[in-house]
Homo-oligomer: A and B are copies of this chain.
Amino acid sequence: MNPTIKDVAKKANVSIATVSRILNNKPGFSEETKQKVLKVIGELGYQPNAVARGLVNKRTETIGVLIPKVSDMLAAEILNGIDDFAHRLGLSVIVCNTDSNGKRTMDYLRILAEKRIDGIILVSEFVTEAYYQAIVEMKVPVVLVSTISYQFLLPYVKVDDRHAAFSATDYLIRHGHRKIAMVTGSESDPVAGIPRIEGYKSALRLHGLEIDENQIINAANFRFEDGMKAMEEIIRRKLDMTAIFASSDELAAGAMSKAFQHGIQIPSQLSIISYDNTKLAEMVTPPLTAVSQPLYEMGKTAATMLFEMVESGDKMVESRIMPHTIVERQTVQMLGDEANMPK
């Protein structure tokens, strides 16, 4: 089979202990033997067995990432950041698609536990009591990305949804809009739903604008299709807003698509600003003005935080609120300065 440390020891006429020392650069060998051993290693094509190593070290240099639907652009971008930096830090990542039912999530958690991974990253995932227990029992550090747990104190990295939604709405107002609708993904979602709605409302309030609950369209979810339906709903309700704040790029894209079908011009007849700023935002026509989450950076940050935690033996680490920005493209039109410009 594969050559083992024993094989190289024998061929190099040294003990396995010596080979191990050289491999791990622990003190206790001469330059001479080092060269000799290295040579043999090359000849044999020896590769250390990380499994055996993991058994004794109780570290696998591997982390698990639980992520809903890898093929979402949002998730994909975050995963990208995680993967890049995890590997850079010497950690491999096992990804687990938690789409659909939470039953699968518990399975994943069990498997990851058995595989003795060193840590876990949870992306856009609500932390249930059961998950939390499972994680506590495996005694490994966790970090949350693009989500947060109010029930359990777990470090997270995300943007301030409330603030970001505020910024988006505020941006619209500063561009002269007074009648602004919002289309939200599930409105009861405690992390991506409620806070964004609140942000939207408080911007309205701050500028002395009236809040009309009728102008908040609750799409069931954050997908393209939901955005299309939301726009239909808007048309059916005969809402006479001049701008929309959509809670995700896909939602916005869906709304735009439907608007196009109905001959509604964007942005001349209707402005729209979205949330996330995935690649989709640039690829849609006209390209979307959007509140940007630094997705890749968030992944990177999470990987780095987790790394620190495993290195230090699970010491707690600060959560990070990533800065959001507005990237201006072409879906928001400045409204002529009629009577009431922003104060």
A→B interface (CB under 8 Å): 1-2, 45, 47-52, 54-55, 58, 60, 62, 69-73, 76-77, 79-80, 83-84, 87, 92-97, 99, 104, 107-108, 110-116, 137, 139, 224, 250, 253-254, 256-257, 260, 279-280, 282-287
Is the CB–CB distance between A77 and B71 below 8 Å? Answer: yes
* Complex alpha-carbon distance, A58 and B1, angstroms: 10
**Which chain B residues lie closer than 8 Å to A83 at the CB level?**
70, 95-97
Please judge, given known A-B contacts A62-B115, A283-B257, A284-B285, whether A76 and B87 are in contact too, CB under 8 Å: no
**Which chain B residues lie closer than 8 Å to A92 at the CB level?**
94, 96, 111-112, 115
**Which chain B residues lie closer than 8 Å to A58 at the CB level?**
1
* Complex alpha-carbon distance, A47 and B283, angstroms: 47
* Complex alpha-carbon distance, A47 and B332, angstroms: 55
Give the one of A107, A139, A285 with max B CB within 10 A.
A285
Q: Which residue of B lies closest to A59 (CB)?
A: B51
**What are 14 A-to-B residue pairs whose CB atoms are below 8 Å?**
A2-B139, A45-B137, A47-B113, A50-B114, A51-B54, A70-B83, A71-B279, A92-B94, A92-B96, A92-B112, A254-B283, A256-B285, A257-B285, A284-B285
From B54, B62, B97, B114, contact of A80 by CB (8 A): B97
* Complex alpha-carbon distance, A279 and B224, angstroms: 9
Is the CB–CB distance between B95 and A95 below 8 Å? Answer: yes
Please judge, given known A-B contacts A76-B70, A92-B94, A137-B45, whether A50 and B224 are in contact too, CB under 8 Å: no
* Complex alpha-carbon distance, A69 and B99, angstroms: 21
Q: Which residue of B lies closest to A282 (CB)?
A: B224
